Structure 1
Amino acid sequence: MAEAPAQVVEELFRRIDDGRWGELAGLYAEDAFVAHPLRGTHVDGRTALGERFLRLGTFRMRVSDVVVHETTDPEVVVAEYRSRGPGFSAANVQVVRVRDGLITHSSDYHDHLRMAAARGDFTGLAVSYESSGGTHEPLVAAPLGSPRDVVWRLLDGISATIPGTRADLYADDAVVTHPFHPTAPPLTGKDELRQHFARGGGEGLRPRHVVFHDGADPELVVVEFEYAGRVGSGNPVVARNVFVTRVRDGLIVESRDYADHVAFAAATGRLPDLLAAARSVVTAD
């Protein structure tokens, strides 16, 4: 009997943690497709994946704090974890489809910024963020107050006339973290969130390519999406993101927003500041 998706993903992380790079490709289907949305790249097929893994040689990367979320799609799981290597400790989230015991598709969101800072080389970090215009995609019908409905209203509200009102979607004691930002502190409580949103900056953006993964846990929803449009002085941007959000009684109580900070910084002229922040958290390991 084929292993369940959660078991396959946990085995993937065990092999990574042990440095068994040569054994990773065996967990993927022959025609597997692995996307890296934050880099705009992908790897197609088990053979190419195997070659990529083997190039890592004796590199060691430890995996910890693994949480695998099952979804209402029996083939799909979402894994959050931390990876630690020379000079970095980074957050990661992967949306993985497993069929017949093998990974057929994976969208891998990694903290490329911290990894680049540890290498001391940011070359190629900022991929092309030119927008092709983007479209506003309507919400597939969801019950009012459901996790999917609440998160859609959050995404759709980025261009709200009064952006601070987005805080009304959160509980009074909500906690929001940004794992891919090197120095951003957690936002705790509705008041802090209101101040955060009131700064604006999303007036020219719309959500597009929105994909929801409803958790087997009825409070949990995971959403992959892009913000596309123009920011700052009119610079085009496409920012790819994934949010892991818990909604209770129609309000967000917790969210880990894995956002594309590099894209926003590059489009608004703040990339040097973001790179400096990333350098500041490089460890001595």
Structure 2
Amino acid sequence: MKSSIGMKSYQKSLYYFLLVFFAIIIIVPFFIMVMTSLKTSSEIQSGVFSLFPHEWRFDNYKLALESTTWGRFFFNTAYVTCLSVLISLVINSMAGYAFSRLIFKGRDFLFVLALVGMMIPTQVTMLPNFVLMRYIPLAGGNNILGQGGTGLINTYAGMIAPYIAGAFGVFLFRQFFMNFPKSLDDAAKIDGLSKWGTFTRIYIPLSKPVFATLIVLKTTTTWNEYTWPLIITSSKKMWTVQLALSVFKDEFITQWNLLMASTTLIMLPLIILYLLMQKYFIEGIVTTGIKG
């Protein structure tokens, strides 16, 4: 009996040790980034490394913001991210509800077909997406055949379009909705609710965890995206923060304090979002894996 208790105590101690160890590995780089953003350039370039600044320079953040039109870049990123997340929540939740709670011909085949999208790297679809955005009919001066103009190139719509739906979001909602008992649908039917009424008045209010999960994951992906905005935009006024950061690095390669200050500011909204959604995010990750 004592040996069993001792073994459980040992396993628990090992578990907490591993958690602390990996937490340190993740946190230390971020901590060094913040500390570097508060140092002077001469201190960073010196041959002696110090974790904490000898002279705390909080004005580095002001200098970083004044170095270029960060307000425009943050607006572009926030606008694209918010619209992408909102539209994807609507599309993915409706598709997940249909695949999990509705019975129709070809449902399982269509769901498997949707899952195939999770196996295709995004890099493979970027060129086809660009061609589609370039030659989309009746947009950007294009005629009905998609010729004569620029389509959705260098527009917010072109930046948002690839993010508004995704196989992973459909899979996430489908798995979550599968956890509800069939009696819930039967009770809604007895109360006179239609399929749409059941979805909007019962399933959506009960789905805060999965909504929060997709908000965090989708926001992180869209906010940090670099390649697609680089391909689809052709003017500086349409840049996102990731594009601006890469150019900032080229222009101020020796001023690591300003670069780290800009990086910290870019990461701050994602950290705040995760802290606000942490409870529901963890619950959503757990519940979506209970039942297949």
Scaled by the length of structure 2, the TM-score of the pair is 0.22
* Structure number with larger C-alpha Rg: 2
More helix by share: 2
Scaled by the length of structure 1, the TM-score of the pair is 0.22
Higher relative contact order (CA 8 A, sep 6+): 2
More strand by share: 1
